[in-house]
Amino acid sequence: MLLRHAKSDRPSGTADIDRPLSERGRRDAAAIGRVMAERGLQPETVICSPSARTRETLDLVLPRLAPVDDVRFVNELYEADEATLLALVKLEGKEAGALLVIGHNPSIEQAALALAGSSGPDADRDAMAGKYPTAALAVLDFDGPWSDLRPGAAVLRAFIRPRDLAGHGTL
């Protein structure tokens, strides 16, 4: 599962890594956590960028899920490109059956598009290729050890955006 951090605020004088979530971001992160729980999208391991906005996103998602014992903050996720993100998933996935990565664009979007290739529901794939907004979650299936992960090796199962949840009473 690849989750882009929720919408952040831009307070004057705040370093990029320290930017907090906006009010909308806090609502969206909580909503994505609720949808993950409703759909049984339970990670065994979480790797998260160390930025304030990714940590805050994580803090709003996790309480809605069953406890996750393996949560790691990985410094390299903060400014990762697609290749670095995929390499980190291969390394950090270890024995996890389900992995949640919380990071930033453009790497989250690029990695999701690369992994999914042409798989998955057309509407979800088209939406993901059109725009990967804040607090959006790509759910991908991959069979095999994380070390075998490569572009096109996963199947896109869902692309969940906060705006899609508003009409379903989730927000």
pLDDT, tens digit (0-9, with 9 covering 90-100), for 107-138? 999 999 999 988 777 888 889 989 999 999 99
Contact 4/132 with Cβ under 8 angstroms?
Answer: yes
Say what percent of the chain tops pLDDT 70: 96
Kindly give the residue spans of alpha helices, DSSP state H, lying in the chain.
23-38, 52-61, 82-92, 107-116, 122-130, 162-165
Q: Read off the pLDDT of residues 7-46 as tens digits, 9 standing for 90 and up.
A: 999 989 999 999 999 999 999 999 999 999 999 999 999 9
**What confidence category does residue 156 fall into, taking pLDDT thresholds of 50, 70 and 90?**
very high
> What phi and psi values does residue 97 have, to the nearest 5 degrees?
-80, -30
Q: Does the structure show a pLDDT above 50 at 167? A: no
Strands 155-160 and 70-73: unpaired
The pLDDT score that the predictor gives to residue 166 is 62
- Provide the Cα torsion 19, 159, 101, 167; round to 10°: 50
Tokens at 36, concatenated? 């993950």
Angle, to 10 degrees, between the axis of helix 107-116 and the axis of helix 82-92?
70
pTM, to two decimals? 0.94
Ordered by where they begin, the domains of the chain are 2-7+18-168 (3.40.50.1240)
Class of residue 163 by CB neighbours under 10 A (exposed 0-12, middle 13-18, buried 19+): exposed
Residue 168: per-residue pLDDT: 43
